[in-house]
């Protein structure tokens, strides 16, 4: 079960941004810091809660969401009406809209979380030192986890639940366009958590929906332990550049499928179509296909036909285009195509002389998310796996499998594309830190 | 064995900074980025090296240091002479000075590293998914590790060795005052690494010794994978605030010893003196003692006498001072004392009404490094361990044990005081990331 699919559809390149809902308002630095301090105080209490208390709260929150469904949908209707009034595209309206089944799904996600093991308290390693000291490294919550997202309002419930299950206070900042929905959801969740005996501030919305309030949040180092931005590349870059709080970068996926000389070409075709067209708007979708020159003559015509059938526009380099039976069925790739995360039914396509050229192309243009090789050669697979620097490397498997649910983590807060702390799908354990506990009987350290 | 003791003596509060050696010069942004690109290229090669190749290089580097000892000492003599000419205090001159035995110790550190297991390639977890995909999470190098340090030139060899053993390219930025020493060391190390078959750029100095060159380094996101600042609080704050590259914060230790109502007071005295006075200039030294009111009357006089004998000045709050037999033997604590990392023979001292007050005091003033409780009560120990938020919590043990060598890690690059990625002493594994490798036979993901 995946309680949170971080690869929710995102805006394709060139889509207009959703306007900030003006009524939701500005906040002062002090407003934001005061909220962060409340989260910090709540985090101290949450850190020592046993699993049973957290699970009871998650179940109460699920029940509360279902009980309050009407009020939540009414709040959401305000957001949808405002978005429609400003001419927001239908695809974005669809992301914004909550329905009865979507509220039920949110509640189900919280119940799924209650059923997962608690990562807190796990002894990661332990030993007895030569001087008799007992050393244990124990998993502890991060503390205050801030999540900045542009996505659907159901992220609010999912993110709050994942943070809480891992013992953290959640400080949430959704889109201004979803303000009323998020406000209603957080009010319901926080009240239910409090009734279940948790701190009322275990789940909070960051005050304000203006850009300044995000800046205040990003510089609340010492109050906020980690910020996870989820959304388009622009949001993520802004957070990375402006934050003094540690950031986990998520989600930008410029993924490649490399069809090796030793590939089973029928398998390659199936993997390519699944990687590209299954859900083109998510970050684990393939945006590029690289074909080894030795099989290009056989593979390219079939690939172009299958991609066309799936509605995909191929942006081909000259060598690739030269092998297409009808050159009008592809468009010429420009330099920017190689670095573009289309999030749409488009793919960049190139012929490469060999595996190392594919690896070099990926090193130059990949985003470190997911890279796939299709090959029957063990040597080729090993070389690709060892040399491609990405969160996930697929051998004869669809890029679409990079997913916390598919990986069996039960829950996922996002897919990290950085190397520090967490890389790839992040589950509950990735929202924790550790603490060394050293127990002795009066040992002192010798002078040295 | 500890090949790198990150808790080298640091400048005490108020010590003059060592002047930058002017001859070492400025560098342009392009100089720094070009060096980072060379490190990146080297990192790609280092990542796939087997352990034997890395160990052979470490041994060759050790031999080369010993062979080139005269040239290294001559270069160091220039730095020492320049520092003396500018009136640098003797304690800082001592940190800067290399000697024959210190060069031998550096070589020994590299040989110790060769004997340690290779963290790269470790399968951190693995499973077979329901659809038959084989999932493995494999330890891989970070890539390019930059280390900014103010400390002794022997950090140059130690940091280069640790980075290399964990498969990373090292990009080193030492103090301007140690420029000639560091230049000579890196030249010797890089040449030896290259002769052993490693990329010549596996170990590099960051060009320039001016402040601007550090800024260029800190914003080389995408080229540099992590920056580890090692030094005083000012350096660390500057890097945290200015860096877009992920940072691991190290080393500031405002550590407390809490003497509980149920403490063995003889043990408490011994632990207090060892924690404070063993090496006052290192980050795991205690800077505060908190005494439970129930035992203060008995403990305070003995503690003050023992601290005085060890040469320690006590900065006492009113309640503590009131229990001192001769009030002239302590000085009154001011508000700033509680937040000061003295790094000297000083300690702040307070009486607290109970354990929770001690925990609250530590939450307000601690730096998240090491906190100790002395108690015979299991309940008190458990409560302190659960509620104190720090990298290491000691129960009846000296704060001085927070150390990679003492913890049995074999090598240590620093002590992280942040929660992201690594917390506490960082060994070889903490300089690595992971990669998911998913191996299939053509599996595609179902539509959902």
Output the domain CATH number for residue A107. Answer: 3.40.605.10
Q: What pLDDT, on the 0 to 100 scale, is given for residue B12?
A: 41
Q: Which residues between 344 and 363 in chain B have a beta carbon less than 8 angstroms from any beta carbon of chain A?
A: 363
Give me the helix-helix angle, B51-67 and B69-85, nearest 10°: 60
Question: Does residue B17 sit within a domain?
Answer: no
Chain A residues whose CB is inside 8 A of the B387 CB are: 44, 47-48
Mutate: best of A442, A446, A447, A448, partner B, most B CBs <10 A: A442
Count of alpha carbons within 13 angstroms of residue A59, beta-carbon side? 9
Chain B residues whose CB is inside 8 A of the A385 CB are: 437
**Alpha helix stretches (DSSP H) within B47-96:** 51-67, 69-85, 90-96
Q: Does B290 share its domain with B354?
A: yes
Chain B CB within 8 Å of residue A241 CB: yes
Strand-pairing partners, residue A351, are A291
Q: Does A263 share its domain with A143?
A: no
Phi and psi of B5, rounded to 5°?
A: -90, 105
pLDDT category at B7 given cuts 50, 70, 90 is: very low
Structural tokens at position B432: 């690595």
Chain A residues whose CB is inside 8 A of the B401 CB are: 133, 438, 440, 443, 445
Q: What pLDDT, on the 0 to 100 scale, is given for residue B18?
A: 38
pLDDT category at B91 given cuts 50, 70, 90 is: confident
Q: Does A73 share its domain with A222?
A: yes
Question: Does residue B328 sit within a domain?
Answer: yes
Q: What pLDDT, on the 0 to 100 scale, is given for residue B447?
A: 85
Start-to-end CA distance of chain A, whole Å, equals: 54
- What pLDDT tens digit does each residue of chain A (448 aa) get? 333 333 444 444 433 343 344 335 788 999 999 999 999 999 999 999 999 999 999 999 999 999 999 999 999 999 999 999 999 998 889 889 999 999 999 999 999 999 999 999 999 999 999 999 999 999 999 999 999 998 689 899 999 999 999 999 999 999 889 999 999 999 999 999 999 999 999 999 999 888 888 999 999 998 999 999 988 778 888 898 889 999 998 878 999 999 999 999 999 999 999 999 999 988 999 999 999 999 999 999 999 999 999 999 999 999 999 999 998 999 999 999 999 999 999 999 999 999 999 999 999 999 999 999 999 999 999 999 999 999 999 999 999 999 999 999 988 999 999 999 999 999 999 999 999 999 999 999 998 6
Q: Does B60 share its domain with B196?
A: yes
| pLDDT reading at B188 higher than 50 | yes
Strand-pairing partners, residue B140, are B433
Q: Which residues between 140 and 179 in chain B have a beta carbon less than 8 angstroms from any beta carbon of chain A?
A: 140, 142-143
Chain B: residue whose CA lies nearest to A415: B436
The CATH number of residue B278's host domain is 3.40.309.10
Q: Does B322 share its domain with B236?
A: no
Inspect the interface and report whether the beta carbons of A264 and B442 lie closer than 8 Å. Answer: yes
Strand-pairing partners, residue A289, are A257, A349
Structural tokens at position A403: 């997913």
Chain B residues whose CB is inside 8 A of the A270 CB are: 442, 444
Inspect the interface and report whether the beta carbons of B424 and A402 lie closer than 8 Å. Answer: no
Chain B residues whose CB is inside 8 A of the A438 CB are: 392-395, 397, 401-402
Q: Does B75 share its domain with B113?
A: yes
Q: Does B273 share its domain with B297?
A: yes
Rg for chain B, CA atoms, rounded:
24
What residues have CB less than 8 Å from B406, skipping those under 6 apart? A129, A445, B2, B400
Chain A: residue whose CA lies nearest to B48: A386
Inspect the interface and report whether the beta carbons of B392 and A226 lie closer than 8 Å. Answer: no
Q: How many domains does chain B have?
A: 2
Beta strands in B142-249 (DSSP E): 144-149, 169-173, 203-205, 226-230
Q: Does A242 share its domain with A284?
A: no
pLDDT tens digit string along B138-164?
A: 999 999 999 999 868 989 999 999 999
**Alpha-carbon distance A442 to B267, whole Å?**
6
Chain A residues whose CB is inside 8 A of the B226 CB are: 419-420
Inspect the interface and report whether the beta carbons of B44 and A133 lie closer than 8 Å. Answer: no
Question: Does residue A444 sit within a domain?
Answer: no
pLDDT tens digit string along B71-83?
A: 999 999 999 999 9
Q: Does A304 share its domain with A367?
A: yes
Question: Does residue A62 sit within a domain?
Answer: yes
Count of alpha carbons within 13 angstroms of residue A327, beta-carbon side? 7
B427 min Cα distance to partner chain A (Å): 14
Chain B CB within 8 Å of residue A379 CB: no
Chain A: residue whose CA lies nearest to B372: A438
Q: Residues of B228-257 as b/e, b for ≥16 C-beta within 10 angstroms? A: bbbbbeebbebbbebbbbbbbbbbbbbbbb
Domain span at residue A45?
22-251+426-436
Q: What pLDDT, on the 0 to 100 scale, is given for residue B6?
A: 39
Chain A residues whose CB is inside 8 A of the B246 CB are: 246-247, 418-420
In the block, residue with structure tokens 């990687």: A275
Q: Residues of A241-264 as b/e, b for ≥16 C-beta within 10 angstroms? A: ebbbbbbbbbbbbbbbbbbbbbbb
Chain A residues whose CB is inside 8 A of the B285 CB are: none
Inspect the interface and report whether the beta carbons of B440 and A248 lie closer than 8 Å. Answer: no
Inspect the interface and report whether the beta carbons of B407 and A447 lie closer than 8 Å. Answer: no
A211 min Cα distance to partner chain B (Å): 20
Q: Does B244 share its domain with B295?
A: no
Q: Could you count the other beta carbons within 10 Å of the beta carbon of residue A308?
A: 14
Query: Nearest to residue B435, comparing CAs of A201, A126, A371?
Result: A371
Inspect the interface and report whether the beta carbons of B440 and A395 lie closer than 8 Å. Answer: yes
**Alpha-carbon distance B23 to B166, whole Å?**
34
B196 min Cα distance to partner chain A (Å): 21
Greater confidence (B84 vs A18) lies with B84
Q: What pLDDT, on the 0 to 100 scale, is given for residue B151?
A: 65
**Alpha-carbon distance B209 to A395, whole Å?**
45
Chain A residues whose CB is inside 8 A of the B220 CB are: none
For CA atoms B235, B236, B242, B247, give the dihedral sign. Answer: positive
- Out of B240, B391, B435, the one facing A244 most closely (by C-beta) is B240
Question: Does residue B421 sit within a domain?
Answer: no
Mutate: best of B168, B377, B435, B437, partner A, most A CBs <10 A: B435
pLDDT category at B22 given cuts 50, 70, 90 is: very low
Q: Does A57 share its domain with A192?
A: yes
Structural tokens at position B272: 């207090």
Query: Nearest to residue A411, comparing CAs of A168, A64, A148?
Result: A168
Q: Could you count the other beta carbons within 10 Å of the beta carbon of residue B84?
A: 12
Chain B CB within 8 Å of residue A195 CB: no
Task: Answer whether A145's CB lies under 8 Å from A225's CB.
Answer: yes
pLDDT category at B211 given cuts 50, 70, 90 is: confident
Give me the helix-helix angle, B154-165 and B179-195, nearest 10°: 30
**Alpha-carbon distance B289 to B282, whole Å?**
17
Inspect the interface and report whether the beta carbons of B433 and A444 lie closer than 8 Å. Answer: no
Query: Nearest to residue A173, comparing CAs of A106, A220, A132?
Result: A220
Rg for chain A, CA atoms, rounded:
24
Q: What pLDDT, on the 0 to 100 scale, is given for residue B118?
A: 97
Tell me the mean pLDDT in the region B429-443: 97
| Four-point Cα dihedral B158, B160, B163, B164, nearest 10 | -110
Q: Apex CA A151: angle with CA A367 and CA A43, to 5°?
A: 95
In the block, residue with structure tokens 């309640």: B319
Mutate: best of A40, A244, A435, partner B, most B CBs <10 A: A435
As a whole-number percent, the residues of chain B with pLDDT over 90 amount to: 83
Q: Does B48 share its domain with B196?
A: yes
Mutate: best of A42, A438, A446, A447, partner B, most B CBs <10 A: A438
Inspect the interface and report whether the beta carbons of B420 and A421 lie closer than 8 Å. Answer: yes
Question: Does residue B387 sit within a domain?
Answer: yes
For CA atoms B49, B53, B55, B58, give the dihedral sign. Answer: negative
Chain A CB within 8 Å of residue B44 CB: yes
Inspect the interface and report whether the beta carbons of A419 and B363 lie closer than 8 Å. Answer: no
Inspect the interface and report whether the beta carbons of B443 and A47 lie closer than 8 Å. Answer: no
pLDDT tens digit string along B367-412?
A: 999 999 999 999 999 999 999 999 999 999 999 999 999 999 988 9
Q: What pLDDT, on the 0 to 100 scale, is given for residue B24?
A: 59
Q: Residues of B160-178 as b/e, b for ≥16 C-beta within 10 angstroms? A: bbbbbbbbbbbbbbbbbbb
Inspect the interface and report whether the beta carbons of B391 and A435 lie closer than 8 Å. Answer: yes
Chain A: residue whose CA lies nearest to B275: A444
Chain B: residue whose CA lies nearest to A431: B420
**Alpha-carbon distance B427 to B117, whole Å?**
11
Chain B CB within 8 Å of residue A339 CB: no
Question: Does residue B10 sit within a domain?
Answer: no
Question: Does residue A231 sit within a domain?
Answer: yes
| pLDDT reading at B3 higher than 50 | no
């Amino acid at each position: 079960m995946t309680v949170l699919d971080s690869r929710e559809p995102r805006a394709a390149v060139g889509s207009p941004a959703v306007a900030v809902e003006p009524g939701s308002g500005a906040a002062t630095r002090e407003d934001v810091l005061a909220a962060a301090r409340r989260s910090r105080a709540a985090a101290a209490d949450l850190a020592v809660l046993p699993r049973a208390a957290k699970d009871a709260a998650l179940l109460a929150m699920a029940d509360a969401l279902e009980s309050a469904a009407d009020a939540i949908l009414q709040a959401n209707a305000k957001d949808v009406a405002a978005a429609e009034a400003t001419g927001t595209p239908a695809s974005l309206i669809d992301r914004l809209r909550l329905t009865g089944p979507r509220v039920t799904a949110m509640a189900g996600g919280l119940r799924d979380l209650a059923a997962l093991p608690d990562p807190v308290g796990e002894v990661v390693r332990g030993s007895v030192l030569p001087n008799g000291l007992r050393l244990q490294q124990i998993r502890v919550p991060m503390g205050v986890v801030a999540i900045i997202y542009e996505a659907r309002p159901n992220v609010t419930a999912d993110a709050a639940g994942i943070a809480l299950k891992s013992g953290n206070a959640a400080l949430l900042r959704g889109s201004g366009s979803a303000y009323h929905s998020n406000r209603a959801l957080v009010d319901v969740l926080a009240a239910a958590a409090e009734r279940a005996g948790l701190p009322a501030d275990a789940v909070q919305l960051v005050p304000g929906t203006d850009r300044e309030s995000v800046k205040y949040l990003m510089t609340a180092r010492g109050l906020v332990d980690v910020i996870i931005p989820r959304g388009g590349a622009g949001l993520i870059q802004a957070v990375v550049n402006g934050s003094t709080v540690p950031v986990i970068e998520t989600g930008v996926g410029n993924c490649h499928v490399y069809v090796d000389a030793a590939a089973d070409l029928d398998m390659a075709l199936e993997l390519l179509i699944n990687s590209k067209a299954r859900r083109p708007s998510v970050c684990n979708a393939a945006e590029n296909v690289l074909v080894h020159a030795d099989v290009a003559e056989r593979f390219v015509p079939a690939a172009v036909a299958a991609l066309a059938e799936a509605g995909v526009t191929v942006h081909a380099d000259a060598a690739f285009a030269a092998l297409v039976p009808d050159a009008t069925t592809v468009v010429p790739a420009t330099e920017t195509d190689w670095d573009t995360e289309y999030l749409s039914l488009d793919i960049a396509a190139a012929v490469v002389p060999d595996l190392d050229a594919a690896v070099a192309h990926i090193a130059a243009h990949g985003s470190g998310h997911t890279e796939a090789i299709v090959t029957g050669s063990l040597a080729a697979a090993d070389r690709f796996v060892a040399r491609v620097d990405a969160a996930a490397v697929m051998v004869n498997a669809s890029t679409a499998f990079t997913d916390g649910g598919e990986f069996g983590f039960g829950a996922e807060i996002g897919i990290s594309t950085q190397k520090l702390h967490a890389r790839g799908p992040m589950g509950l354990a990735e929202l924790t830190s550790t603490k060394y506990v050293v127990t002795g009987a009066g040992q002192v350290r010798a002078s040295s």
